[in-house]
Chain A
Amino acid sequence: MPHPHARGADTGAGFLDRATCLHRVSHIAAETSSTQQPLAALWIGLDRLKQINQSFGHQGGDIVILQITQRLREKTGGRSEWYRMGGDEFVCLLPDTNADQARKFAAELIQVIEAPLRFGELLLHPSASIGVVVLEENEDSFMFLERADHAMSAAKRQGGGRIVVSGEEPTPGRMGILLAREELAIESQLHEALENGGLALHYQPIVSLDGHIEGVEALMRCTTGNGSIPPGKFIPVAEKTGLVTRLGEWSLLTGTGFARELANAGLRTKVAINVSRAQLISPKFSQALHAALMCSNVSPELIELELTESLFMDISAVVQDNLRAAREAGVSLAIDDFGTGYSCLANLKDIPATKLKLDRAFVIVLPHDRRAFAVVKAMTQLGRELGMTVVAEGVEEMNQLDALREAGVDAIQGYIHARPMPKETLLTWLKERNPT
Chain B
Amino acid sequence: MNTTADVISPPAVDSLLENSLRDIGIPPCPAVLDRIVREMRKEAPDFKHVANIINTDVALGASLIKTANSPFFGFRSRVRSVNEALMVLGLTVASKAIAGIILRRAFPITPALERFWDSSMRIARLSGWLAQDVASKTVSSDDSYTYALFRDCGIPVLFNRFPAYETMVREANNETVKNFTEVEETHLPTNHAMVGCLLAQSWWLPEETCFAIRHHHDLQVIETPAISSPLASRYHIAIAQLAEFFLQRHTGLSHTCEWPKLGAACLKLLEIDENDIEPIFNEARIIIQAED
Contacts and interface: CB of A to CB of B under 8 A. Distances in A.
Given A225-B43, A295-B157, A288 B24 contact: no
A197 B207 CA distance: 13
Interface in B122-170: 138, 154, 157-158, 161
A253 B228 CA distance: 23
Interface of A is mostly: helix
Contacts of B199: 295
A288 B226 contact: no
Nearest to B160: A297
Given A260-B24, A287-B190, A197 B29 contact: yes
A119 B225 CA distance: 9
Contacts of B194: 284, 287-288, 291
B202 A250 contact: yes
Nearest to B231: A57
Interface stretch (A25-33, A37-45, A142-150, A188-196): A188-196
B25 A55 contact: no
A55 B228 contact: yes
A57 B228 CA distance: 13
Contacts of B154: 291
Interface in B217-236: 224-231
A58 to B, nearest CB: 10
Contacts of A250: 201-202
Contact of A295 (B25, B138, B185, B229): B25
Contact of B190 (A193, A198, A294, A296): A294
Given A195-B207, A290-B190, A296 B24 contact: yes
A293 to B, nearest CB: 9
Interface stretch (A46-54, A96-104, A108-116, A410-418): A46-54
B164 to A, nearest CB: 14
Contact of A291 (B37, B42, B195): B195
Interface in B194-219: 194-195, 197-199, 201-202, 204-207, 210
Contact of A249 (B188, B201, B227, B229): B201
Interface residues on B, range: 35 or more
Q: A52, A121, A192, A257 — which one has the most chain B CB atoms within 10 A of its CB?
A: A257
A291 B190 contact: yes
Interface string A209-231: 00000000000000111000000
A80 to B, nearest CB: 31
Contacts of B14: none
B189 A297 contact: no
B159 to A, nearest CB: 12
A46 to B, nearest CB: 14
Contacts of B191: 287, 291
Interface in A291-307: 291-292, 294-297
B227 A191 contact: no
Interface string A251-269: 0111001001000100000
Q: B37, B38, B190 — which one has the most chain A CB atoms within 10 A of its CB?
A: B190
Given A51-B227, A198-B41, A249-B201, A295 B24 contact: yes
B149 to A, nearest CB: 17
A296 B25 contact: yes
A48 B26 CA distance: 36
Which 7 pairs of residues, A with B, have the shortest CB-CB distance? A295-B26, A290-B189, A197-B37, A290-B190, A291-B190, A196-B41, A291-B194
14 contacts: A192-B41, A195-B37, A196-B38, A225-B42, A246-B207, A249-B197, A250-B201, A252-B198, A257-B24, A260-B23, A264-B23, A287-B185, A287-B190, A290-B190
Interface of B: 23-26, 28-29, 34, 37-38, 40-43, 138, 154, 157-158, 161, 185, 188-191, 194-195, 197-199, 201-202, 204-207, 210, 224-231
Given A225-B41, A291-B191, 15 more contacts: A51-B227, A54-B231, A120-B225, A194-B201, A196-B41, A197-B204, A225-B42, A246-B201, A257-B26, A287-B185, A287-B189, A291-B154, A292-B198, A294-B157, A296-B26
